[in-house]
Amino acid sequence: MLRPFELAEPASVGEASALLARHGEAARLYAGGTELLLAMKEGLVHYDYLVNVKTIPGLGGLRRDGDGTLRIGAAATHRAVERDPVVREHFTALARMEADVANVRVRTVGTLGGNLCFAEPHADPGALLQVFDATVRLERAGRARTLPLEALFVGPFETCLEGDELLTEIAVPPLPPRSAAAYLKFGFLERPSVGVAVAVTVADGHFADARVAVGSVGPVPRRMREAEAVLREKAIAESPAALEEAGRLAARAADAVTDLHGSAEYKEHLVAVLLRRAFRQALASLGVREPS
């Protein structure tokens, strides 16, 4: 049962920032509430003020820039991303991932921005967006900054947002030509236990680029740069061995924790398995057959 709180509905980002500044830790941004309200109902957290970002004009939409970058407003719901024709065509892996977040009711109400800012460790979007090199725009009264998404996540339920700052936009650049992304998750509870995202660019029979991110396993979703380095410039003919090595490195770097979802050891193992499978899926979508 929710305890009483005051609702603030600012008309601009500046006004929202000022409200956050004024009420400090007694206030929290409210973007969909699918995570926040659960925590408040359970009594884990309480805020005297919820600041609704969804009524701020201009934060809801999705658009694609001239350079192909996808710009997702902070108030865009998972459903909006999942069903957007542009996303489905140009960011297929993102649309697929979004279509598999929680259940349809959560996706109807929950926002992608809210999901990222809540920083629940067992979540899908954080990992996949990182392999797109997504950035987030953080704004406060009179100032804005753009950070790589990776920098947003500080710890479980903890972001780098300043007290009076709000996320206003997620920018997802397009992958280079001859690239594909894939996200695979595994688990048997309501939330994912392990999520592995990859993006691969193929040129002349080798990996021109390879990106890997792992989510749900450790405290925060993370890019796995050592694993990427092993793959980059490798010939696809050598990929089985390289993927095995990359899997090992990603597993070690994933900072796995033991919890109800499973042991750290098992999750590390799954990271390697999913990494291999995700690459295979991405390559297949490019029409590239990985040697077995």
Partner 1 sequence: MAPETLAVVGRSVPRLDAREKVTGAARYVTDLALPEMVHARLWRSPVPHARLHGVGVERAAAAPGVLAVCTAADLPVRRLCYGPAYKDQPILADGVVRYAGEPVVAVVADTPAHAEAALPLLDVRFEELQAVTTAEAALAPDAPLIHGALDPAGHFRDLSGLRPIAGTNVCHHWHAERGDLAAAFAEADLVVDDAYHYPALSHHALEPHCVIARVEADGSFTVWTGTQHPFPVRRELAEIFDVPLARVQVIVPLIGGAFGGKCYTKIEPIAAALAARVRRPVRLALSLEESARTITRHAVTVRLKTAIRRDGTLLARECDVVLDTGAYADIGPRVATKAGYRAPGPYRIPHLRIDARCVYTHNVPAGAYRGYGVPQVTWASESQLDGIAERLGLDPLALRLRNLLKRGEEYVAGDTPMDGDLAEGLGAVARAVGWGVPDAPGRGQGLACAMKDGGGTHTVSMAVVRVHADGSVSLFAGTVEVGQGARTVLAQIAAETLGVPFETVVAVAPDTALTPYDHGTSASRSTTVMGLAVQAAARDAREQLLRLAADLLGTDPAALDLRGGRVVHGDRALSVAEVVRGHFGLVGGEVTGVGTFVPGAWSGSLGGATVFWETGMGAAEVEVDPDTGAVRIHKYVSAADVGTAINPRECAGQDEGAALQGLGPALFEARASEAGQLLNPGLIDYRLPTFLDLPDRFDTLLIENADGPGPFGSKGVGESGTFCAAPAIGNAIARATGVRLREVPMTPERVWRALQDARPKASAS
Partner 2 sequence: MSDVAVAVTVNGERHELTVPPWETLLECLRDRLGLLGTKKSCDVQVCGACTVLLDEEPVSACTLLAFEARGRRLRTIEGLAEGDDLHPVQEAFVEHGALQCGFCTPGMIMATVALLQENPTPTPDEVKHYMRGNICRCTGYKSILEAILAASRRLAPGAETGRGA
User: What is the nearest approach in angstroms of partner 2 to the Cβ of residue 100?
Assistant: 8
Q: In the range 50-109, which residues lie near partner 1 by CB under 8 A?
A: none
Nearest partner of 211 among 231, 193, 195, judged by Cα = 231
Site membership for partner 1, residue 263 (CB under 8 A): yes
The rounded distance, in Å, linking the Cα atoms of 238 and 291 is 8
The rounded distance, in Å, linking the Cα atoms of 203 and 82 is 29
The rounded distance, in Å, linking the Cα atoms of 83 and 104 is 12
SS3 for 85?
helix
Partner that binds at residue 260, options partner 2, partner 1, none, CB closer than 5 to 8 Å by kind: partner 1
Partner that binds at residue 263, options partner 1, partner 2, none, CB closer than 5 to 8 Å by kind: partner 1
Segment near partner 1 (CB under 8 A), from 53-61, 128-136, 225-233, 256-264? 256-264
**Structure-token pair, residue 278:** 């995700």
The rounded distance, in Å, linking the Cα atoms of 96 and 111 is 16
SS3 for 44?
coil
User: What is the nearest approach in angstroms of partner 2 to the Cβ of residue 5?
Assistant: 5
Per-residue binding letters, 42-81, with partner 2 (x by CB under 8 A): --------x----------------------------x--
Q: Which of 26, 104, 235, 241 binds partner 2 (CB under 8 A)?
A: 104
Show Cβ contacts of residue 66 under 8 Å, excluding neighbours closer than 6 positions: none
The CA dihedral of 127, 130, 132, 133, to the nearest 10 degrees, is 180
Footprint on this chain of partner 2 (rule: CB under 8 A): 2-7, 33-34, 37-38, 41, 50, 79, 102-106, 108-109, 190
Positions that interact with partner 1 (CB under 8 A) = 1, 3, 38, 186, 188-191, 260, 262-263, 266, 269-270, 273
